[in-house]
Structure 1
C-alpha cells in the first residue's frame, strides 16, 4: 500500500500480530472457532504483506495477481460457508476487499503511484468498502465492551475461564484490529 513508512510499519506489525494470534486460536477445541481463526489468520498475514511500505519493498509484478487468486479462493470459501450462517458474510466482504485492492495495485502504473484510480475523488467501490469497514469497526468496538464485562462477570460467579483461544473478547479484538487496518489500507489505496 502507499503511504508514509512509519504508519505502514505499524500497520504491518498490527496485522502480523493479529495473524499470529489467529494462528494460535486455531488450536481451539471448538471447530467453528478454528475455521474462523484460519480465515482471519490468512487475512491478517495477507494484510501485513500488502501493507509493507512501497518505499521499502516493491513486490514483483506477479505478486498482485497472486494475492487476487489467494483471496479470491478465500472469498469463494466464505461464500460457500455463508450458506450455514450470515456471520460468514463479513469474511466474504473482507476477502473481496483484498481482491479489489490487489487488482487496483496490479493495475497501477509501477505499483508506486499513490492514486491508482486516476480520477478525482474516491472510486465508488473504495468508498463503499470504506463505509462498510468503518461501520464494522464501530459495531465491533461496541460489541467488545459488553464481552469484557460478561467474561469477568462469569468468573466472579464461580464459573471457569474459557481457554485463552476460546475467549470471545479476544476474537472480537482481533476482528476489530483487522477492521481498523482495512480502513487504513483502503484510505491509502
Structure 2
C-alpha cells in the first residue's frame, strides 16, 4: 500500500499471523466455523501481501487486476452465502474493500493516494467509517467473552479452532489492518 516501511511490516506480520490462525481454525468440527475461517484466512493473507511496503517489493502491473478478480470472486461468494447468515455481509464488505484498494492500486500503483483531488474520496471515507465502527463494536464484544472464558473450568476449555474469543480477536485485528490500509490510499 506504499506507506512507511516499519508500520507496513508490522501490518504484514499482523495480517499473516491472523491468516495463519484462521487456517488453524479450519480444523474445527463446526462446518460454519470452518467456512468462516477459510474466508478470513484468504482475507488475512491477501491483506498481508497487499501491505508489503513498496520499498521492499514492487509487484508487476498484473498483480492488482488479479487481486481485484480474486477478491471480486470472494465478494460474490460472500453475497451468495449471506442468504443464510448476516455475518457473511461483513465478509462481503471486506472483500469489496479489497477490490476497491486493488482498483486504486491499478490506477496508480506508485502513488499513496490515487485520486488527484484533495480530501478523502467518498467510498474511502465510507469504508473508513464502516471499519472504524466494526473495530469499536468488535472490541466491545470481546470483553464479555474474555471474562466468561477466564471463569471456565480447566476441563471444559474448547479446542483452538473453536474458541470464540480468538476468532473475534482475529476479526478485530483484520478490521484494524483494513483501517490502516484504507488510510494509506
Which bin holds the TM-score, normalised by the shorter protein? over 0.9
Per the alignment, in what secondary structure is the counterpart of residue 154 of structure 1? coil
Q: Detail structure 1 runs of 4+ shifted over 4 Å in the superposition.
A: none
Per the alignment, in what secondary structure is the counterpart of residue 2 of structure 2? coil
Per the alignment, in what secondary structure is the counterpart of residue 83 of structure 1? coil
Find the partner of 2:179 among 174, 177, 183: 183
Per the alignment, in what secondary structure is the counterpart of residue 174 of structure 2? helix
Root-mean-square deviation (CA, aligned residues, Å) is: 0.9
Shift of 1:152: 2.1
**Residue deviations 1:144-179 (CA, integer Å, cap 9, x gap):** 0111111122327xx611111100000000000000
Shift of 1:100: 0.3
Rounded Cα–Cα distance in structure 2 between residues aligned with 1:105 and 1:76:
21
Matched, 1:75 2:68: no
Aligned runs of 1:15-30 on 2, under 5 Å?
Answer: 15-30=15-30
Aligned runs of 1:14-163 on 2, under 5 Å?
Answer: 14-108=14-108, 111-155=109-153, 160-163=156-159
Rounded Cα–Cα distance in structure 2 between residues aligned with 1:67 and 1:155:
45
Structure 1 stretches lacking a partner, 5+ long:
none
Rounded Cα–Cα distance in structure 2 between residues aligned with 1:56 and 1:154:
45
Rounded Cα–Cα distance in structure 2 between residues aligned with 1:37 and 1:53:
26
Worse overlay, 145-154 or 163-172: 145-154
Structure 2 stretches lacking a partner, 5+ long:
none
* Aligned residues of 2:24 and 2:160 also touching (Cα < 8 A): no
